[in-house]
């Protein structure tokens, strides 16, 4: 079953989900036909209560942007008080396993921008149930290297700092208890303040997880024993400050889906 009438390899348009990530996803038919799960939060205003998905935070705040900062179809999210290691997470609940040969497909994508490039860390992607929390980014993200992450199973993107300011994004994965994240590809995106970047992860249900930036594939990895194949994974967008300063970002959409039946 194919979702939509767009070309599967298309990068798509800024501000919208990438056809390259979502071209084989049945989207809302997953729910309508009982084939799996589909969840999204859209900054254009299709939710009654922000951020549009479950959230966990120290003192997180969510507001629609007026267009004065980035886009009047965006939601601003910040960690609240300018307190070191304040954090938030916007997340789904666990959806499905990323197991080799299972036939279960998974998709996730966010369109995100930072208000400023500061001492902070961000993770987006899949995580096991214990990773769907505000502390998905470890305390005191490195100001010269990749931000640390919680010791749980993860597949997605994490920021890297240079000179105490986030600068690039790496594609990573981690299995709980294995001693840290493995970098699939470093510097898949270079960040700029108030500039959106689409980060997408897609698992084909057979053996390969693929990573996308602005609709273009930037990395892929074969599923093997170094991946967690036994726990259901959800999708999480986590932000944490690394100093006693404000950390603020924006999303235009967050999407997550899992197909567990044909």
CA quadruple 59, 70, 112, 40: dihedral positive or negative? positive
The C-alpha atoms of residue 30 and residue 257 are separated, in whole angstroms, by: 8
Neighbouring CB atoms inside 10 A of 28's CB total: 12
Domains defined for the chain, CATH in brackets: 19-259 (2.60.120.200)
Exposed e or buried b per residue across 73-111, where buried means at least 16 C-beta atoms within 10 angstroms of its C-beta = bbbbbbbbeeeebbbbbbbbebbbbbbbebebbbbbbbb
Count CA atoms closer than 13 A to 93's CA, side-chain side: 2
Q: What is the pLDDT of residues 7-31, one digit of tens each?
A: 445 898 999 999 999 999 999 999 9
Q: In this structure, what DSSP letter does residue 85 have?
A: T
Q: What is the pLDDT of residues 247-258, one digit of tens each?
A: 999 999 999 999
Q: Where are the alpha helices (DSSP H) in the chain?
A: 19-22, 29-32
Looking at the chain, how many residues does it have? 262
Q: Which residues, in sequence order, are bridge partners of residue 131?
A: none
CA quadruple 218, 236, 21, 224: dihedral positive or negative? positive
The C-alpha atoms of residue 104 and residue 68 are separated, in whole angstroms, by: 41
Q: What share of the chain is helix, strand, coil (3-state, %, to 5)?
A: 5, 45, 50
Q: What is the pLDDT of residues 168-191, one digit of tens each?
A: 999 999 999 998 999 999 999 999
The pLDDT mean for the chain works out to 93
**What's this model's pTM, rounded to 2 decimal places?**
0.94
- The per-residue pLDDT string of the chain (262 residues; one tens digit each, 9 = 90 and over) reads 334 444 445 898 999 999 999 999 999 999 999 999 999 999 887 667 899 999 999 999 999 988 888 988 899 999 988 899 999 999 999 999 999 999 999 999 999 999 999 999 999 999 999 999 999 999 999 999 999 999 999 999 999 999 999 999 999 999 999 989 999 999 999 999 999 999 999 999 999 999 999 999 999 999 999 999 999 999 999 999 999 988 999 999 999 999 999 8
């Amino acid at each position: 079953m194919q979702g939509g009438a767009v070309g599967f390899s298309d990068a798509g348009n800024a501000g919208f989900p990438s056809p390259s990530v979502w071209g084989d996803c049945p989207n809302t038919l997953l729910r309508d036909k009982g084939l799996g799960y589909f969840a999204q939060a859209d900054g254009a205003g299709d939710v009654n209560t922000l951020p549009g998905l479950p959230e966990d935070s120290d003192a997180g705040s969510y507001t629609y942007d007026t267009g004065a900062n980035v886009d009047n179809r965006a939601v601003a999210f910040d960690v609240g008080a300018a307190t070191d290691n304040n954090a938030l997470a916007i997340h789904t609940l666990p959806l499905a396993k990323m197991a080799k040969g299972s036939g279960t497909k998974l998709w996730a994508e966010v369109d995100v921008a930072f208000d400023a490039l500061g001492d902070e860390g961000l993770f987006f992607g899949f995580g096991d149930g214990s990773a769907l929390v505000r502390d998905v980014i470890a305390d005191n993200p490195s100001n010269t290297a990749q931000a640390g992450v919680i010791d749980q199973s993860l597949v997605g993107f994490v920021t890297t700092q240079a000179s105490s300011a986030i600068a690039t994004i790496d594609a990573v994965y981690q299995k709980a208890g294995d001693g840290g994240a493995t970098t699939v590809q470093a510097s898949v995106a270079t960040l700029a303040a108030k500039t959106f970047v689409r980060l997408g992860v897609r698992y084909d249900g057979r053996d390969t997880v693929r990573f996308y930036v602005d609709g273009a594939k930037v990395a892929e990895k074969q599923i093997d024993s170094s991946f967690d194949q036994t726990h259901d994974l959800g999708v999480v967008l986590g932000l944490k400050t690394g100093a006693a300063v404000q950390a603020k970002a924006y999303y235009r959409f967050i999407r997550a889906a899992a197909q567990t039946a044909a």
